[in-house]
Amino acid sequence: MIEKNEFYDVEFIDMTHDGMGVCKIEGFPVFVSNALKGEKAKIKIIKVNKSFGFARLVEIQSESPFRKEPICDHFYECGGCNLMHMNYQMQLDFKKYRTKETLKKLGKIETHVHETVGMINPYYYRNKSVIPFGEINGKMVSGLFKSRSHEIIDMKKCYIIPKITTDIVKYLKNVFVELNIPAYNELLRTGVVRHIIVRNSYKFDDISVTIVTFTNKLPKKEIIIKKLSSRFKRVISIVHNYNPDNTNVVFGRKSRILFGEDFIKDEINGVKFNISHRSFYQINPVQTEELYKKAIEYAAVTSDDVVIDSYCGIGTIGLSVAPYAKTVLGVDIVKQSIDDANSNASNNGIKNVKFVVGKAETVIKSWKNYDVDVLFVDPPRKGCDKVFLETIAEMEIPTIVYISCNVSTLARDLNYLQAHNYEVVEVTPFDMFPQTSHIETVTKLKYNKY
């Protein structure tokens, strides 16, 4: 039996889904951050559970040839970029391996998993940054959460958000300090500023900034607007959101537009989009274009086809595919996203689309009588609702293209569809979130009635 605080010499034989090294001590699995498969090291046990333990890396005795020195100063305290100690090719291989293993183990699916599609420059890619504010020893801090905690690290630089976003965050922090506007204190439930959300357009210069406060009013808002908009000309939208709740959810229910419009413009594969501050939008625009190209290739839509874009957000997939289809139907649960989807359709002169607000699992039933040729599925991390899966199984749709940001729920849903005559033809992982262990995949399914 292993004991806390004891030292062991080990060899790492595998990696967990979130990039920890896995070793075994007398058959007992132990997980270690910042360790790579194939490495030998001395570790110190920090926690022992019933069937597994955690340890700290003390000294690497034999280093993996795929190890890379993390370029970020915050790597060892921030939990965000948990693969930054792997070179980029190893990150891509790791994601392919995790996809294949998870589909096999959780979904009993043996299919062709392609190489992960990576980025030429896997840094500074996030078009949306959610930055928490807090105070440490009376000093305002903003930036990143410490790994597995609610403690904020004062961000000097972050390698996955655009440089201008870091500049805006630092500038606003100085403005708040100068104007005596304190950060929110979640323990005492006092103070003002909770978060700043910065959204950057990829194809245009547009930037929007949302300031989330604990208080109903944003003090000295005229001064803040003037300073921010004159210092950063690219900021064309400033929104104040009020969140008085004792919660980890970032946005509260009420928002007020303080400056400009409530949206920024962007473009994906030639289609223009307006994105308002609450709508879902993929966070890596370079990879989104590649992901959608693959999804459209898998769908092989023709001009006679009826297409459904379920979990459609602001309609990005549906509007990209509409020029090739007869009709596109889209559904999303967020009204603001559907409003954006409809105005995006008319702004692009696309008429063969219909977007409706609702739960995909409810609305899909009302579309059962359409002769649907292609279904796009792009649910949140928890995957599809059981009723949704049951309905699409009954609909016997010739082609399904399933886009997923969580391979575990993907495996569960594909397992169900496979058991209902859908063949999992192939899967392509996309590196939408370089340096982190998150995996995005596109899967092609065909209906085969035996």
Ligand X SMILES: C[S@@+](CC[C@H](N)C(=O)[O-])C[C@H]1O[C@@H](n2cnc3c(N)ncnc32)[C@H](O)[C@@H]1O
The DSSP element (H or E) to which 144 belongs, if any, is strand 139-145
Are residues 433 and 440 in contact, defined by beta-carbon separation less than 8 angstroms? Answer: yes
Under rule CB under 6 A, residue 430 binds ligand X? no
Marked catalytic residue, from 72, 158, 384, 405: 405
Residue 434 binds ligand X (CB under 6 A): no
Q: Which is nearer to ligand X, 335 or 420 (CB)?
A: 335
Residues of 378-417 as b/e, b for ≥16 C-beta within 10 angstroms? bbeeebbbeebbbbbbebebebbbbbbbbbbbbbbbbebb
- Cβ atoms within 10 A of the Cβ of 316, count? 26
Residue 284 engages ligand X in binding (rule: CB under 6 A): no
Q: Kindly tell me which of 66 and 430 has the beta carbon lying closer to ligand X.
A: 430
* Contact map string, positions 382 to 401, toward ligand X, x by CB under 6 A: ---x----------------
Q: Helix 163-178 crosses helix 221-231 at what angle (to 10 degrees)?
A: 150
The token pair at 260 is 């400009």
For 184, the token pair is 């929110």
Phi, psi of 434 (to 5 degrees): -55, 150
Q: Is 189 in the site for ligand X (CB under 6 A)?
A: no
Figure out which of the listed residues 158, 331, 338, 377 binds ligand X, where binding follows CB under 6 A.
Answer: 331
CB nearer ligand X, residue 41 or residue 360: 360
Name which of 181 and 375 has its Cβ closer to ligand X.
Answer: 375
What's the Cα-to-Cα distance from 149 to each of 29, 76, 79, 145, 380, rounded to whole Å?
A: 24, 14, 9, 7, 24
Question: x/- site string to ligand X, residues 364 to 383, per CB under 6 A?
Answer: --------------xxx---
Please identify which residue in 243, 276, 316, 441 interacts with ligand X, judged by CB under 6 A.
Answer: 316
Mask for 223-262, x = binds ligand X (CB under 6 A): ----------------------------------------
Structure tokens at 427: 């899967």
Q: Does 312 bind ligand X (CB under 6 A)?
A: yes
Site for ligand X contains 280 (CB under 6 A): yes
Task: Determine the Cα–Cα distance for residues 116 and 126; give it in Å rounded to an integer.
Answer: 19
Q: Which of 175, 286, 333, 356 binds ligand X (CB under 6 A)?
A: 333
Query: Does the footprint of ligand X cover residue 311 (CB under 6 A)?
Result: yes
Answer yes or no whether residue 357 interacts with ligand X by CB under 6 A.
no
What residues does 256 pair with on adjacent strands? Answer: 240
313 contacts ligand X (rule: CB under 6 A): yes
Residue 266 interacting with ligand X (CB under 6 A)? no
H or E stretch including 410?
helix 407-418
Q: Which two tokens stand for residue 86?
A: 């792997």
Q: Assess whether 405 carries a catalytic annotation.
A: yes
Contact status: 334 vs ligand X (CB under 6 A): yes
Active site residues: 405
Q: Which residues bind ligand X (CB under 6 A)?
A: 280-282, 311-313, 316-317, 331-334, 337, 359-360, 378-380, 385, 405
